[in-house]
């Protein structure tokens, strides 16, 4: 009986092992982080519900569903997305990215998923009819695009000047406002913009015919490219690809979307976008508070080092303040977010990179006024404290710092205001704060003046409250 039980146990165990060995293995779905543009309708833009949609977004999601993987799509802006891919912060880019020999040297591309060409557009009342009319004129271009590359290739021949922008809306507005005379853009993007209200007209036939492709870093993520290519073939075969493109390029669909989102008054824009604007403001305030706390700690440490009776400490403080006050905030942000990961291979989340940027830049200014506040206390105060037998540390704590802090407090609050404004620059690395939120809204409705007016008012209200607080604290400190 006992033997039969033992035999049964081993038979069951063997059966289980055999089952596990031959049964199909279930893998957890892999998640890829994909970068995209923020303002490139109809390929990527935020709809009236402030949800990202467009040919690229829908296509990527449909392929992911078909091929059994997940995607985390990050709206970074074209330039930031490409740089993030190069620094391995993301796994791929889908952003109306033309396949060119120069890009193929750095990236591996999927099979083409959309054929396009470059056209020139001018204001509706312009008398420019072609490239030959551009001599001595100014042309607006979008940074890093194939259309900009094509325009520059014609610049010497036709004798025009160029100015560059990071997003399409500002580029279009520069032409409609008369600051620039023309712009170059991909055919479907320009046609969509005109259909949805941009006051421009196309004056050339498509040139430099090319294709859009999904890109990964050269020699990496080959499996993702294979999945994209296979999924694209399936979607074209079953008709889903045509449904996606028609959803955004069909004239009837575009006109319906235009009617549905026809909120162009200040009140209508505020009502429609209230929640996303408040969310952007919340992110701005959160980033500001975290950044100023980190900057204060950093600044106090290096400010105090600058007043110690030690040459190395003073030299270190002076060097740190000089370097991080001297670097433009934009350059510092891009260096931390894209440069360091390129060197180390370690990803840095955008929020962390933004916080570090604020800590170093704002902290350097904080260190300077901490050092200045302490130095402004009369030297006789320290001498008197030391003559009474107090050691340096205790004299600093009991005598010098209480007087120095009184001088520093208003500067601390002013630095908070400066930090709040500086967060807008961090939209360049894809942080969805108030300025980035404004860009996303404008990409949909092209109401740049009104949306920026609302965003400016929100900043002004917060900064006014902080200014009042600064004056109140300063008054209390002087009483």
- What are 332-346's pLDDT values in tens digits? 988 888 888 877 777
pLDDT category at 223 given cuts 50, 70, 90 is very high
Question: Which of 100, 98, 92 is closest to 187 using CA atoms?
Answer: 98
CATH topology agreement for domains 31-113+213-256 and 266-478? no
pLDDT at 425: 84
The rounded percent of the chain whose pLDDT value lies above 90 is: 27
Does pLDDT of 5 surpass 70? no
CATH annotation of 117-210: 3.40.190.10
pLDDT at 342: 76
Question: Which of 243, 366, 389 is closest to 304 using CA atoms?
Answer: 366
84-101: per-residue pLDDT in tens?
A: 898 888 999 999 888 988
Does pLDDT of 22 surpass 50? no
The rounded percent of the chain whose pLDDT value lies above 70 is: 80
25 versus 35: which is more confidently predicted?
A: 35
Q: What is the mean pLDDT of residues 366-381?
A: 70
Does pLDDT of 384 surpass 90? no
Tokens of 123: 């204001």
Domain edges within the chain: 31-113+213-256, 117-210, 266-478
pLDDT at 390: 64
What fold characterizes domain 266-478? MetI-like fold (1.10.3720)
- Find where tokens 């350059």 sit: 331
Q: Degrees (nearest 5) of the Cα angle 185, 182, 148?
A: 40
pLDDT at 24: 44
pLDDT at 389: 62
Query: Which of 41-45, 105-109, 397-401 bottoms out in mean pLDDT, i.e. has the lowest?
Result: 397-401
Q: How buried is 280 (Cβ within 10 angstroms: 0-12 exposed, 13-18 middle, 19+ buried)?
A: buried
389 versus 146: which is more confidently predicted?
A: 146
Alpha-carbon gap, residue 270 to 52, rounded angstroms: 19
Kindly state the DSSP code that residue 44 receives in the 8-state scheme. Answer: B
Question: Which of 397, 398, 418, 413 is closest to 474 using CA atoms?
Answer: 413
Does pLDDT of 25 surpass 50? no
Q: What is the overall mean pLDDT for the chain?
A: 81
Alpha-carbon gap, residue 479 to 92, rounded angstroms: 59
CATH annotation of 31-113+213-256: 3.40.190.10
């Amino acid at each position: 009986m006992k033997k039969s039980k033992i035999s049964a146990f081993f038979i069951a165990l063997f059966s289980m092992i055999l089952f596990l060995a031959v049964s199909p293995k279930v893998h957890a779905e892999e998640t890829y982080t994909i970068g995209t543009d923020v303002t490139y309708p109809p390929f990527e833009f935020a709809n009236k519900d402030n949800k990202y949609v467009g040919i690229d977004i829908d296509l990527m999601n449909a392929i992911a569903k078909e091929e059994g993987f997940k995607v985390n799509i990050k709206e970074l802006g074209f330039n930031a997305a490409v740089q993030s891919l190069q620094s391995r912060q993301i796994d791929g880019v889908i952003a109306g990215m033309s396949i060119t020999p120069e890009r193929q040297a750095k990236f591996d591309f999927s099979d083409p998923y959309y054929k396009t060409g470059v056209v020139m557009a001018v204001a509706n009342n312009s008398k420019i009819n072609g490239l030959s009319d551009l001599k001595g004129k100014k042309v607006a271009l979008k940074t890093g695009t194939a259309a900009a590359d094509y325009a520059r290739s014609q610049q010497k021949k036709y004798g025009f000047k160029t100015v560059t922008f990071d997003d399409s809306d500002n580029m279009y507005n520069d032409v409609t406002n008369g600051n620039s005379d023309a712009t170059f853009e991909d055919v479907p993007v320009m046609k969509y913009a005109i259909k949805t209200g941009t006051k421009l007209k196309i004056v050339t036939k498509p040139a430099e015919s090319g294709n859009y492709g999904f890109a990964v870093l050269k020699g990496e993520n080959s499996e993702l490219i294979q999945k994209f290519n296979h999924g694209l073939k399936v979607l074209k075969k079953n008709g889903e690809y045509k449904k996606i493109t028609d959803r955004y390029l069909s004239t009837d669909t575009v006109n319906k979307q235009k009617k549905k989102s026809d909120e162009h008054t200040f009140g209508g824009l505020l009502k429609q976008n209230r929640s996303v604007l408040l969310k952007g403001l919340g992110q701005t305030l959160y980033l500001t508070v975290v950044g100023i706390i980190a900057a204060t700690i950093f600044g106090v440490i290096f400010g105090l080092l600058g007043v110690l009776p030690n040459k190395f400490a003073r030299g270190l403080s002076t060097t740190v303040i000089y370097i991080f006050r001297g670097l433009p905030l934009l350059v510092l942000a891009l260096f931390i977010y894209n440069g360091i990961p390129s060197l180390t291979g370690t990803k840095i989340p955008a929020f962390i990179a933004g916080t570090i940027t604020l800590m170093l830049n704002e902290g350097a200014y904080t260190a300077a006024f901490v050092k200045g506040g302490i130095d402004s206390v009369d030297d006789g105060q320290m001498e008197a404290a030391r003559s009474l037998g107090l050691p340096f540390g205790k004299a600093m704590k009991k005598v010098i710092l209480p007087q120095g802090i009184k001088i520093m407090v208003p500067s601390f609050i002013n630095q908070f205001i400066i930090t709040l404004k500086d967060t807008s620059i961090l939209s360049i690395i894809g942080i969805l704060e108030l300025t980035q939120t404004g860009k996303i809204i404008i990409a949909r409705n092209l109401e740049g003046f009104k949306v920026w007016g609302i965003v400016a008012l929100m900043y002004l209200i917060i900064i006014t409250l902080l200014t009042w607080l600064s004056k109140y604290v300063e008054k209390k400190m002087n009483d």
